[in-house]
Amino acid sequence: MTHKIRIILADDHPVVRDGLKGMLGSQEDFSVVGEAVNGEDLLDLARKVPAEVALVDLRMPVLDGVSAIARLRESCPALRVLVLTTYDSDADIRRAVEAGATGYLLKDAPREELFNAIRQTSRGYSYLSPAVASRLVDGVRSSDYDELSPREVEVLTLVAQGRANKEIARSLRLSEATVKSHLLHIFEKLGAADRTHAVTIAVRKGIIRLE
């Protein structure tokens, strides 16, 4: 072996960071060179400390994983990003991959799979865990049909808040007819029976978030 693979961890859970440090420390070709507790921390760290791979969680305070990955592409293009998260919604995966993640792994993956993924990623090969890969493929197959336009997402977000079409029209400065038109398209794209169903489907797919 010539060089150890230098790894930066980014996760807001101390337990997870410690677990990863311990696990990776047991492997001779790995070396954890830094830890970040949120996205901004990760950006700072990556600028200062050279590394081959960053293991990053998607849900982090201050700056979330996807945004951090996107900005990492510019500031540290050489750094490969392996997403390690508990969330496996279609949209989460697609967003992360689009933002420039080299790999995507779920936290319930066995240790050997994690080691494997890191080694693959460090060489520039992309790694998707089997469960994730199949979801992505499903997503691509139907993505031309079920992807909502920005405006449609905007409408659906308000629908999720219990707003009536008339209110939504006022909020977005549209006529009620337009709102209804958007909704019909949304139903068709998502295969939803009604507005409520559309919201639950969109939440499951990660198209909209509650709160």
Partner DNA sequence: GAGAAAATCAACCGAAAGGTGGAGCGTAGT
Partner DNA sequence: ACTACGCTCCACCTTTCGGTTGATTTTCTC
Interface residue list for DNA (CB under 7 A): 144, 147, 149-152, 164-166, 169, 172-175, 177-178, 180-185, 187, 193-196
Rounded least distance, CB 188 to DNA, Å? 8
Does position 1 bind a second copy by CB under 8 A? no
Does position 204 bind a second copy by CB under 8 A? yes
Number of helices and strands (H, E) in the chain?
A: 10, 6
DSSP 59: -
DSSP 148: P
Q: Quick one: what does residue 185 bind among a second copy, DNA, none, with the CB cut-off 5 to 8 Å set by partner type?
A: DNA
**Extended beta strands in the chain, E state:** 5-10, 30-36, 53-56, 80-85, 103-106, 127-128
Q: CA angle, corner 73, sides to 14 and 117, nearest 5?
A: 55
Report 164-183 residues binding a second copy (CB under 8 A): 164
Binding site for a second copy (CB under 8 A): 12-23, 84, 86, 107-111, 114, 159-164, 192-200, 203-204, 210-211
